[in-house]
Amino acid sequence: QQPVQSPQAVILREGEDAVINCSSSKALYSVHWYRQKHGEAPVFLMILLKGGEQKGHDKISASFNEKKQQSSLYLTASQLSYSGTYFCGTAGSGNTGKLIFGQGTTLQVKP
Amino acid sequence: DTAVSQTPKYLVTQMGNDKSIKCEQNLGHDTMYWYKQDSKKFLKIMFSYNNKELIINETVPNRFSPKSPDKAHLNLHINSLELGDSAVYFCASSQALGETQYFGPGTRLLVL
């Protein structure tokens, strides 16, 4: 079952904050966040494992609420380079490495 | 220097032809994957191999056949290409099952 991301698209001014949500109907073991720029490959941002942890680097952080089967990606003080499509990939138990990706959230940061 | 590489980068071919896409990783990873991304950007797993053993085989037409000659390579052969096969195909690798996946640059396949 594909996770659902919201919003589908967001437009920001430089310096503004954004939150992207990822919600699954199935129990999750881990959530992986990627950013993809047009014509390029998805680039790994962070991985969150079961345990409700929160991670971050620079001004991008994420949380994982396993009870609610949700993860959120927080972009603080957005920069032009943050523009792209953000995907969450979810993995259930079983450790097959199988990631099911959401439909993506397109983020555009304007000067 | 390249971590995960794919060839070719672009592939334009006629319906009914057979084509192959090659993938190589120099990260020393044990696990490799093939994904298909359609025109709506939907990214879907097709296959994965761990230490040359097939682990994931999603509901993919049997015209698609992966081959892993060694841990560093995972190739994708497609027989009797159809219009609906047009997409971007990404190879990825991870140290082990369940760990961070690193994507190659993609192969843009257009079937005419």
Write down the pLDDT at residue B4.
97
User: Residue B1 pLDDT > 80, yes or no?
Assistant: no
Is the pLDDT at B59 greater than 80, yes or no? no
Domain boundaries, chain A: 4-110
Chain A residues with beta carbon closer than 8 angstroms to that of B53 = none
User: For residue A11, what is the DSSP state?
Assistant: E
8 Å CB contact of A96 and B44? no
- pLDDT 10s digits, A51-84: 766 667 778 999 998 888 999 999 999 999 999 9
B22-53: pLDDT as tens digits? 999 999 999 999 999 999 999 999 999 999 89
Domain count, chain B: 1
Provide the number of CB pairs (under 8 Å) joining chain A to chain B: 61
Q: Contact at 8 Å (CB) between B101 and A99?
A: yes
Full domain range(s) for residue B71 = 4-111
Long-range CB contact pairs, B40-47, < 8 A, 24+: B40/A103, B41/A36, B41/A85, B41/A103, B41/A104, B42/A101, B42/A103, B42/A104, B43/A42, B43/A87, B43/A89, B43/A101, B43/A104, B43/B90, B44/A101, B45/A98, B45/A99, B45/A100, B46/B76, B47/B74, B47/B76
* Cβ–Cβ below 8 Å for A97 and B90: no
Q: Which residues of B touch A29 (CB under 8 A)?
A: 98
Q: With cut-offs at 50, 70 and 90, classify the pLDDT of residue B87.
A: very high
By Cβ distance, the residue of B42, B96, B103 closest to A41 is B103
CATH superfamily ID and name for A4-110: Immunoglobulins (2.60.40.10)
A99/B45 CB distance under 8 A: yes
Give the CATH number for residue B42. 2.60.40.10
